Structure 1
């Protein structure tokens, strides 16, 4: 359950993002396309009360790919290839819906109980038939065209895909802040695009990463005439049965340990707001609306929702 305080969403100017995230997750969850349904987290329903927004989503128990990568240090080639192929199918499905994900990173990739991935956090995702100009995403994964405000679209996801492959095989992204300069130091490194590969880096993976991390998006693999098939047919993915992978019939290299349906032990502990700390939430209380059905209650003047008009479609 994702709970968001309306006043904070408004204060941080995230109203458009929240409505967009809800609409995109609803689209992904209802599509007939297999890729997004199998490789993206599902949204079951949304509702709200006078103070908060609620998003009831699929509980993906295997934890973040980031946590598994950090424990391993780096992934073996076959492990990285499996997860990269999963992500490729997820992005393929999203792009077919004209959705640019824009925040690909290990922290936003969850492992399901069968070891397959689920993309989560669609806060930066957007339906983009052509291009958009918003600067958003995680600095280490931003494509040059995003940094330079040249307008970006699906090719930006292919750049991030190259960063992800590099990070899975090495343990850290190719462009990161090592001198305390903050994001601007990272941006300079991205624009310089000087790649340094460890000596043991897999040669075919190196070739693919180089083709993904081309600053000129018109020459970037995935954005060429062959589209995503150029990536699928690359030598690094040789031997991958894409149909079996789509049906999730290939054994995963990492199977999360899950003891019960409510097991959350695969997730890192982050201090979170307690129920009593969230405005408007009381034990046993019912939301103002659920799936379009209104609950009648004797509301006092202080319970009137001043932000309701901003979330009419939520």
Structure 2
């Protein structure tokens, strides 16, 4: 897939065209280019049909090797018309995610499905989300192949929309399972927490990326019962710098975000502590009808634990939900390694966990790969759309070139 795309990104042009024969040559070249484009498009669609066989977690070094991995690439040949839109899986202020399959597939490939995130350029611009959308695409491309992050299979665009083709997680949100169960038992919580530690370790220590929106609604369960982190709209490559954008969900915000004193990857370890607490208790530690009251509780940073919670779990959460970032577990010396070494994780085989050799505690009941029973119903899309004008195109297309 990647090779076909690279050929297309740098089409070979003959330099020996002379002026007199330019027009006739030009129409011939256009026909050749069009035929080459069509061949590459068919080749890419064939590759997508083999997706299920190719789908496997990559080693960290392979994920970083953008030149040799087939996922996370930008495609100049795929089009929305290549896909049949089956059902809306989710909507946001400027995006809609569809369950899709390739059109005109061979018999036996009907079950090769994807999630296609469609973003309207006019909405992205109007809502001042250009930077967030670019960050999302580029971070997802960089991390494509990680066992517990939604895989960006390819991205592409047309005149008025941007597209991200992602792997489909038929299990739905962890949030739904947590609400049904009220709370998870300790082994289930440890399993999910361990997979999230591996995500944060990779994002922070290999990519320098702060995710900034960790919560149960952004974690899906795949067909085998493993987690997949989705929605990288707030993710940002910060490395060792600090950033000041206020973003996230009130109950999960770290104190330094609320105080606007500058924040980095440490915000994810705070949110991770809140998440582990919510897994074990069924609700986050800081909550009120009024968001301002939540913020006051967070900045004060006093976590109250139920008496039934194990001492190891309390110690882990206390270490993660520490207001002082220089003392926060995950952000102190040892980084993610210090979290992995915590007694609460003593029964975790980290290598087996990364390679998905441990069975997931909740395996969704599915009728097949295209089952959507774990997703809500959504209103159809409005037919009225603001056009993406030539003037907008001239100004903004440069910003979307990575797609």
1:17 match: 132
Larger Rg: 2
Which of these residues, 214, 228, 232, is aligned with residue 340 of structure 2?
A: 232
1:84 match: 193
Which of these residues, 311, 328, 340, is aligned with residue 220 of structure 1?
A: 328
Which of these residues, 141, 146, 154, is aligned with residue 252 of structure 2?
A: 141
Whole-angstrom CA distance in 2 between matches of 1:261 and 1:65: 18
The structure, 1 or 2, with the larger RCO (C-alpha pairs under 8 Å, 6+ apart) is 1
- Larger deviation: 73-82 or 226-235? 226-235
Give the aligned CA root-mean-square deviation in angstroms: 2.0
2:234 match: 124
1:272–1:172: structure 2 CA closer, same or farther, 3 Å change rule?
farther
* SS of equivalent to 2:144: helix
2:302 match: 194
Indicate conservation of the 8 Å contact 2:211/2:236, yes or no. Answer: yes
Whole-angstrom CA distance in 2 between matches of 1:65 and 1:44: 23
Q: Does 1:69 align with 2:178?
A: yes
Aligned-pair CA distance for 1:12: 0.5
Indicate conservation of the 8 Å contact 1:50/1:304, yes or no. Answer: no
Residues 51-96 of structure 1 show CA distances to partners (whole Å, capped at 9, x for unaligned) of 2211111111111111111111110111111100010111111112
Structure 1 residues not aligned, in runs of 5+:
31-36, 281-300
TM-score (norm 2): 0.67
Aligned-pair CA distance for 1:279: 6.4
Equivalent residue pairs, number: 285
* SS of equivalent to 2:147: helix
Whole-angstrom CA distance in 2 between matches of 1:268 and 1:107: 13
1:232–1:8: structure 2 CA closer, same or farther, 3 Å change rule?
same
- Give the alignment of 1:28-43 within 5 angstroms: 28-29=143-144, 37-43=146-152
Whole-angstrom CA distance in 2 between matches of 1:230 and 1:74: 26
1:155–1:304: structure 2 CA closer, same or farther, 3 Å change rule?
closer
Whole-angstrom CA distance in 2 between matches of 1:313 and 1:239: 42
Whole-angstrom CA distance in 1 between matches of 2:153 and 2:197: 24
* SS of equivalent to 1:38: coil
1:167 match: 278
Whole-angstrom CA distance in 2 between matches of 1:239 and 1:2: 38
Indicate conservation of the 8 Å contact 2:200/2:336, yes or no. Answer: no
Aligned-pair CA distance for 1:164: 0.2
Indicate conservation of the 8 Å contact 2:184/2:279, yes or no. Answer: yes
* SS of equivalent to 2:369: coil
1:312 match: 401
* SS of equivalent to 2:162: strand
TM-score (norm 1): 0.86
1:52 match: 161
1:33 match: none
Which of these residues, 376, 394, 398, is aligned with residue 268 of structure 1?
A: 376
1:284 match: none
Whole-angstrom CA distance in 2 between matches of 1:235 and 1:270: 43
Residues 139-187 of structure 1 show CA distances to partners (whole Å, capped at 9, x for unaligned) of 1111111111111111111000000000011111111223xx2x22211
Indicate conservation of the 8 Å contact 1:51/1:279, yes or no. Answer: no
- Larger deviation: 42-51 or 8-17? 42-51
1:277–1:56: structure 2 CA closer, same or farther, 3 Å change rule?
farther
